[in-house]
Structure 1
């Protein structure tokens, strides 16, 4: 017994010694690295913290220019603004045409309830909506969709929409997000609400199925039947927030109304009060407009034909100001380029930034760049993309590149611990097939990485919504991302080794039983907005 105890203690002491030795071995290089901190990294941190241009850039882009719908004058204004900013910092920049898009300019939207009482409603026209005739108010009664027996019954009902404003969204039973219910409701009440909401949603979906239409195809049918306009409410599951996307009509206006006001109008219509709305939407059709990417670069000195690419989409939907989708990613890349030009004006490799157009319609700008510039694509050292909101970066995946850990690990080791410690890495990860512009490059075999951010209620409150505005930007987090990006770009440029593009062997798809495939490179839509 005593021998076993001694043996056990010896084994424990030996294990502790190995652990202590390993700890010392791992910590020694870290201590040495801290003692020999790269002065460039220290200077990047200092410049970002003491001379940040982020607030100024955000104000000019988000407040002064505003949302950047592809094909709109504001999108063109933003491209020209970025080029001038870069030139002011001594960085070569240009707007590079990749296609054409239906041009449209948003004007005033004003929506009022005028019967049975008067109330101004919160809402706006959808992107690419036709204006009201002569840009004058349209006054019409509202009508709700029936619950038909089948598609034939719906076709018989369709003439009823003539001259009416058709409410085509499901009215929400509650405008309180779930977290508010969870905090204050009884458990029984919360569960009851969720069950009723599920039943209502299922019934609404069944109604559309019986009609034989989807929310995308129905507006055209209503327009053909003589409807005066389309009214929707695309709630985003948060207080006061709606998604604002595209109109699917050619001649009649399509507007989105806030949940609270939509519910009011819907209930009045259902109860036979015959409410009337006055809608005025001003908009201009501009014909086909050129679509661009903004490209800027700091030329490399030793390996000018190898590239480190900073990446962010420039366009946005226009329900808000496009602040967190994706002005934040845009100004991160601009600020990183400004810092690098000031502190690292002669990089070993060329550092190029791409501000892509029409990401929201299918990664079109970045796909066009990949297709148009094979000479650059084949020589990319690494690409860093930032898109999903205002939060600090908390996740980086190796995107299925077998040796991504080797080089990303080296580069991340130089990042200050207060930033690096927040980041969870996933190596080798899986290749991203979509979602943002890095996927266009991954499909072409480029080591392209998404700098994925902390949520900040992004998907409910700011992603594609009417609340995506300047005040939602968290500048401390954005500044952290600019520091991270600048350091990664510097390290990737300086690395003596070319990054490996070797891919992992993808696993078997459990559903099909077939090996999964690397995402395919896709061509962009070069002429869009016409459907």
Structure 2
């Protein structure tokens, strides 16, 4: 590198750091976030103390009440705002024991909204969907499932993720097993297809024929991680079993050894429950009817404790509010945070807020959302707002370079149509931006899995995100005028023709009641 250029760059960085240090609010934000962080305490209280936050569950309501109490303890006004109702369900124990041909406790759990077993569980033989010629043959076989547990997922040939094979295997071994797995998956898909049913209707047919439980296994392609979603059965339990134990059962069935399990899955329906968003605010002094918003969904699936999806986004936004209340208690604009319910079922909480508060949409300066995991912010898109580079660039320049140096930006970008709650606001024309995180193997290790727990949180990264978000909010509050909302209509990459800006969508306000 040229010495003059190197000197000039160093001088610019020095000037940048000096400018930042001369702003007492920014300096105080950095100091408070680093020296008096409450992130570990918040994470413990939320993930360990309350647990997962499935919409309609008692833990979800406890989390809403806890957040309001936390905010009030910091002197921040907060409320729970009802937007709908959901089928109530409370998870109980799941014990799965193989009792023949030998005894072993298996690893697994019931899916969300699964019906319960009879008290104490039921012993039954494990069978799989057979390879039959067509739906007529399937209907003839169907009565044989009475009193049995039925496996409906394809097994995995290996529990080792690709990276582990790439590190240790002989050349060609990974390709060989990938090809074998691909063939097995295709054959299993064809097997299910020939029943004349699909993954949704098959469990219903099995339970109506007298099966005592449905066994699935949805591997997330990481050691020990399975994705845990919802059951479609109405009368019998559906459980997800770990890759290792499901594979063992499958092989035993396939070899004719007729394994038996005792499944004791306890849960209970709790009736129709109200669903909420938790809203907190620090009132503005000069422009109280203009808003700078923070956003994170509060709910989770309940395979783990919802630590990185979206416990980290939740505690990030709570900590930003705490820090700002302490060092910037009289913002020019009102700072508002939304902790949304039922994001996992279709952005329902944030869509409800947009629909219920149309008068606010033109008064939101910007919104910052965080959702996808524990990592430090690595990507920022302008979401199709033409002038986003100008104001986001200026604000980012006030954040320490140690935090922003690795952030990749795309301006103006294209509007997000879904994926997380910022999209609900983009559709309403609000400059809403997603603080997208570094992976930390999020998609395989923790996203919707049984492994999404407190120990996966990288607190140093979350602390960096607190500083970033707090400074961006401060700068947005101080901005003399409302920022530009001029949009770039995205083009269809196939035709080159303009498409349409995303349209606001109504939420599902009565969930799980079919």
TM beyond 0.5: yes
1:518 aligns with 2:501: yes
**In the alignment, what sits opposite 1:72?**
57
Contact 1:58 1:327 in 2 (8 A): yes
Whole-angstrom distance in 2 between the partners of 1:370 and 1:35: 40
**How far is 1:530 from its partner?**
2.0
Whole-angstrom distance in 2 between the partners of 1:36 and 1:159: 76
Please point out which of 130, 133, 141 is paired with 1:157.
141
**In the alignment, what sits opposite 2:80?**
95
**How far is 1:31 from its partner?**
4.5
Whole-angstrom distance in 2 between the partners of 1:99 and 1:245: 21
Whole-angstrom distance in 1 between the partners of 2:398 and 2:458: 24
**In the alignment, what sits opposite 1:215?**
199
Please point out which of 398, 408, 412 is paired with 1:424.
408
**In the alignment, what sits opposite 1:132?**
117
Q: Within 5 A, what are the aligned runs for 1:49-128? A: 49-128=34-113
| CA offset digits 1:63-105 (Å, max 9, x no partner) | 0100000000000000000000000000000000000000000
| CA offset digits 1:303-326 (Å, max 9, x no partner) | 111100000000000000000000
Contact 1:509 1:516 in 2 (8 A): no
**How far is 1:516 from its partner?**
2.0
Please point out which of 217, 220, 233 is paired with 1:233.
217
| Secondary structure of the structure 2 residue equivalent to 1:187 | coil
In structure 2, do the counterparts of structure 1 residues 502 and 339 end up closer, same or farther at CA, with 3 Å as the change threshold? Answer: same
Contact 2:489 2:501 in 1 (8 A): no
**How far is 1:233 from its partner?**
0.6
1:263 aligns with 2:247: yes
**In the alignment, what sits opposite 1:172?**
156
Whole-angstrom distance in 2 between the partners of 1:202 and 1:478: 41
Whole-angstrom distance in 2 between the partners of 1:33 and 1:255: 55
**In the alignment, what sits opposite 2:457?**
473
**In the alignment, what sits opposite 1:12?**
none
| Secondary structure of the structure 1 residue equivalent to 2:468 | helix
Whole-angstrom distance in 1 between the partners of 2:17 and 2:299: 40
| Secondary structure of the structure 2 residue equivalent to 1:36 | helix
**How far is 1:149 from its partner?**
1.5
Please point out which of 24, 31, 41 is paired with 1:39.
24
Whole-angstrom distance in 1 between the partners of 2:79 and 2:172: 60
1:503 aligns with 2:503: no
**In the alignment, what sits opposite 1:357?**
341
Whole-angstrom distance in 2 between the partners of 1:351 and 1:27: 35
Whole-angstrom distance in 2 between the partners of 1:59 and 1:91: 21
**How far is 1:43 from its partner?**
0.8
Contact 2:97 2:103 in 1 (8 A): yes
Whole-angstrom distance in 1 between the partners of 2:17 and 2:174: 52
Whole-angstrom distance in 2 between the partners of 1:174 and 1:185: 13
| CA offset digits 1:114-171 (Å, max 9, x no partner) | 01111000011111001112x3211111110012222222222211211110001101
Whole-angstrom distance in 1 between the partners of 2:244 and 2:406: 39
| Secondary structure of the structure 2 residue equivalent to 1:428 | coil
Tell which deviates more after alignment, 446-455 or 223-232.
223-232
Q: Within 5 A, what are the aligned runs for 1:70-469? A: 70-133=55-118, 135-469=119-453
Whole-angstrom distance in 2 between the partners of 1:281 and 1:192: 38
In structure 2, do the counterparts of structure 1 residues 495 and 28 end up closer, same or farther at CA, with 3 Å as the change threshold? Answer: farther
Q: Calculate the TM-score normalised by the size of structure 2.
A: 0.97
> Larger Rg: 1 or 2?
1
**How far is 1:217 from its partner?**
2.1
Contact 2:43 2:315 in 1 (8 A): yes
Unaligned runs of 5+ in 2: none
| Secondary structure of the structure 2 residue equivalent to 1:156 | helix
Whole-angstrom distance in 2 between the partners of 1:165 and 1:285: 23
**In the alignment, what sits opposite 1:3?**
none
**How far is 1:272 from its partner?**
1.1
Unaligned runs of 5+ in 1: 1-15
Count residues in correspondence. 511
Contact 2:87 2:272 in 1 (8 A): yes
Contact 1:132 1:253 in 2 (8 A): yes
Whole-angstrom distance in 2 between the partners of 1:365 and 1:23: 51
**How far is 1:274 from its partner?**
1.1
Root-mean-square deviation (CA), in Å?
1.6
**How far is 1:462 from its partner?**
0.3
